[in-house]
Amino acid sequence: MKIRICGAVGSGKTTLARELSKKYQIPYYELDQVVRERQGQRGDRLRSESEKAELLKEIIEQPAWIIEGMHNEEWTYDTFEHADVLCLLNPPKKVIKYRLTKRFIRQKLKLETVHYTPTISIYFKMFKWAKMFDEKGRPNVMHLSETVQAELIILENDRDVKEFLRNPAG
């Protein structure tokens, strides 16, 4: 099975990918990890376009995968074309706001690990990114879903997510 998970920052993409991966023994990949090479204390290094393309190609060629991320630009189109299921997480805005605030507080208290330094600037950027996904990302995902064979499943609440975890093939 090949599952592509999309949604705004704070929509639950990584949590869902981890749970699906654990339950079905399918590897999951974060598109942020394709964009950036984590270098520990030295910070992140942005990968070149060719590096991103090669890494994504290696992932897509695997027999099963879960790929999650809000990225839906042209360089990610193969993830849509090769997916069996396209999952769009679409919780209410108030849920995303709550999750982003909870995440920030947990990160500042060092109760949640993170690949970046949680600053107030990044906290506010997350709201900006969530709004950008609403305005541009979601419409693009909906358009892409009409051009590929993958089954589109939209999850709007916890009940939908639980049902998808029971039966990701729709």
* pLDDT in the model for residue 44: 75
pLDDT tens digits for range 27-74: 999 999 999 887 665 667 889 999 999 999 999 999 999 999 999 999
* pLDDT in the model for residue 43: 66
Strand order in the sheet with 151-155: 28-30, 65-68, 2-7, 85-89, 151-155
Q: What pTM did the predictor assign?
A: 0.92
Architecture of domain 2-166: 3-Layer(aba) Sandwich (3.40)
* pLDDT in the model for residue 41: 59
* pLDDT in the model for residue 147: 95
Please report where in the chains the tokens 């839906």 appear, as a residue: 72
**Those residues with Cβ within 8 angstroms of residue 151's Cβ, 6 or more apart along the chain or in another chain:** 84, 85, 86, 169, 170
Structure tokens at 129: 């990114």
Low-confidence residues in the chain, pLDDT < 50: none
**Those residues with Cβ within 8 angstroms of residue 79's Cβ, 6 or more apart along the chain or in another chain:** 4, 31, 56, 60, 67
Going from N- to C-terminal start, the domains of the chain cover 2-166
**Helical spans, DSSP H, in 61-167:** 77-82, 93-108, 120-132, 138-145, 158-166
